[in-house]
Structures are given as structure tokens and as C-alpha cells.
Structure 1
Amino acid sequence: MKRLYIPFIWELVLIISTIIWEKQSFYFFFVFYVGLVAYFYFINKQFSFRELRSNFNDVKAFWIPVTVTVAAMLLAYRLQELIIGSLYTEYYDSIVHIPIRNELAPLLFNCLMCMIIKPFAEGLFYRQAIILFDSKKKTVLLTIVSLMLCAVTMAHGPVGISTFVIMALPVTIVYLITKNIYVSVMAHFLFEFYNTGYETVYTLARLYYR
């Protein structure tokens, strides 16, 4: 766990920064996720794209869990929307607001962050690095820690934290079941590809064809 001191401090810096300078949150998150990728991928060598590609041929152990997880994330997103609809004020007051200008460069950078860097960074830190399988009690405790740490980057109040925990559950559960970080990361990537990709294309089309 010693190697996690730096990421924990890194997250604390992010949380403090988004509280003090919320209008600059997008830049803080971008640097945060890039920092996690650099730390876990380039320094600690915790991910192999060659091993990821080797999983592509395994339909039963890879693509089926990925597909089920993406479907679960879509359901979780729908549940999140229902919670937001019924508790909008409480939700709005409890989340970190990430303002993004409706211009080409910021939208593309946001797309890059959400679709590629974020799934990669969160998978390496909140799931692979934090969740250990030494014992059942330890795994349960670390899973709760993982979910909470992931949620508090995006929200500082109970309603907001709850919604982000819900969104993180599918990719966390599939990692607990398969113990395969590549399944979790790929499912997260595909969900964001659909969700963020669609929103980005729609926003760009609205800007340039109105």
C-alpha cells in the first residue's frame, strides 16, 4: 500500500483545488487523471496493452462480462437520472461543477478525458491498486474505500456521492468477479464512448449547424 501514498495525496490535492477554484475544475481533473495514468502505467507498469489485446479473443471470459457491465452501467445511469430528477437541488448543491466552454478544443479535450484517460486512470487506481483479494473482509473493506474515493472526487455531499457510487458499482463488481482489470477498463471505455461521444457529437452539431 506504500505506493498509494502519492495517488492519495494527489486526490486530496484535487479535492481541495476543486473546492477553492471550482471554475477551473476541468483542468484539475485532466491533470489528475493524466497523473494517475503516468504513475500507474509508466512508473509502476500496472497495465499491458499487449495483454489487453490478448483478451480480445476470449468471448466468454472477456466480451460477455464487458457487455453485461456496459448494460449495467446504462441502467445505473438511468437510475442516476431518476435520483437527479427527484432530488435535483440536493444533487446540484453536492457535486463538483466542471464548466466546459462550448467550443471545439474544450469539447474534444473533455471527450478525450472522459472516454480514454478517465476509464484508464480510474481502473488502475480505484480498482486494481486499491482492491486486494487477501481475504474476504479486507476485500469488502477496500471495495467500500474504492467506491467512496472514486465518488468524492466528483461530489462532496451525500446525494451526489451516492449517485457516483451507483455509477461506479458495475465496473467495480465485474472486477471483483473476474479479477481482470481489462474487463473493467474496456466496459468503462465503451460506456463513455457511447455516452460522452454522443453528447460531444450532439453539442458540436448544435454549435456548427444552428
Structure 2
Amino acid sequence: MLNRYFSFEELKSNIISRKKFWMPVFVTILFLILAFGLSYLPKMIFPNLNEGMINLRINNWSGVVLFILSTIIFPPLAEEMFYRKAIINFESKKILYISTITSLFLFAIEHSLSWYGIFMAMIWGIPFSISYIKTKNIYVPMMAHFIVNLIGNGSTAIIMVVRLLN
């Protein structure tokens, strides 16, 4: 917020701008779903491939809260601000390509500890990067990222809450 990479006012105006904002968000989500499918194709052929992903254990209420914060709330904000807004540079086409590949690689190594996992995460980052490059609006990939994380990790959080209640 201090560097003006993020503004609640800008986010609010984007959210209420309807088609101009939401159509690219939903297109990004669609391509992200395709990217997830594509990234898991090698795993279908070679089931023993190591993704190198960590599994968070949730066994109490503070674990649920931390899971929600660390997998639903903070990643869209922090990752889109850093890996897209701060790294991708529109100065020239050559710099744009280099900075985009750099951002994809850094995004990927943050998500995985294996070569296959890095490959997967780079594929996941492509729709976010393209969305940001095409719209020049960081709130588009940020909202798509939030919605996808909410659906994917939100279902896990709900399951954990139900288990803790029982």
C-alpha cells in the first residue's frame, strides 16, 4: 500500500465496473483451470512424480485460521503484487519477456521443491501473467487468484472445520 501497488479504492472501483473487470477475471479463471489440467497430465502418465508440494496439517482452530490466511487471503495479494506487479516490466518487448519468465520461475520455486512441481507452478502462473500483461490491471489476476484459492482451499477449510466440530 505504501508503494501504491495496492489500493482498496482501486479494488472497489474495479469490482463495481462490471464487465470491464469481471470478464477478464472469469477468462483468467477458465485458463487457470486449463493450466491445472495441463500441468497434471504428466502425473497421470507417471503417477510417482514428486510434486514437491508441502501439506499443511490442520488439527486445531488456530491451524484452520492460519490455513485460511496462508492459502486463501494472503497469496492473491502478496503473489500478484510481487510476481506480477513488481517484477513484470513493460519497458520493451524483450524486457517484458525476460521479466515475465523471471516472475514465472520465482512464482514456481516459491510453490514447489521439485523439478516437476516447478514446471507445474510455472504453468499455473501463465494465466495470471497473461491476464496482467493484457489488462495492465493487477486486480484482474488478483481477483481470479482469490476466487480459485477460495474454491480450492476453502473446501479444505470447510472440511477441517466440520472435522473439528465433530
TM norm. shorter chain > 0.5: yes
Matched-pair contact (CA < 8 Å) for 1:132–1:139: yes
Q: 2:34 aligned to 75, 91, 95, which one?
A: 75
- Alignment partner of 2:107: what SS? helix
Matched-pair contact (CA < 8 Å) for 2:35–2:123: yes
Give the equivalent residue in structure 2 for 1:159.
Answer: 116
Measured in 1, the distance between the counterparts of 2:70 and 2:77 equals 10
Measured in 2, the distance between the counterparts of 1:89 and 1:102 equals 28
Cα 1:183/1:115, change in 2 over 3 Å:
same
Q: How many residues align?
A: 166
Cα 1:152/1:51, change in 2 over 3 Å:
same
Measured in 2, the distance between the counterparts of 1:198 and 1:50 equals 29
| 2:150 is equivalent to residue 190 of structure 1 | no
- Alignment partner of 1:90: what SS? coil
| 2:19 is equivalent to residue 64 of structure 1 | no
Aligned sequence identity (%) = 36
| 2:106 is equivalent to residue 149 of structure 1 | yes
| 2:49 is equivalent to residue 90 of structure 1 | yes
RMSD: 1.8
Q: Which residue identity does 2:116 align to in structure 1?
A: V
TM-score by length of 2: 0.90
Q: Which residue identity does 1:54 align to in structure 2?
A: S
Measured in 1, the distance between the counterparts of 2:45 and 2:58 equals 28
Q: Deviations over 1:26-60 (max 9, x none)?
A: xxxxxxxxxxxxxxx3x423111101111123233
Matched-pair contact (CA < 8 Å) for 2:58–2:67: no
Q: Which runs of 5+ in 1 are unaligned?
A: 1-40
Cα 1:156/1:207, change in 2 over 3 Å:
same
Q: Which residue identity does 1:66 align to in structure 2?
A: V
By how many angstroms is 1:168 displaced?
1.2
- Alignment partner of 2:58: what SS? coil
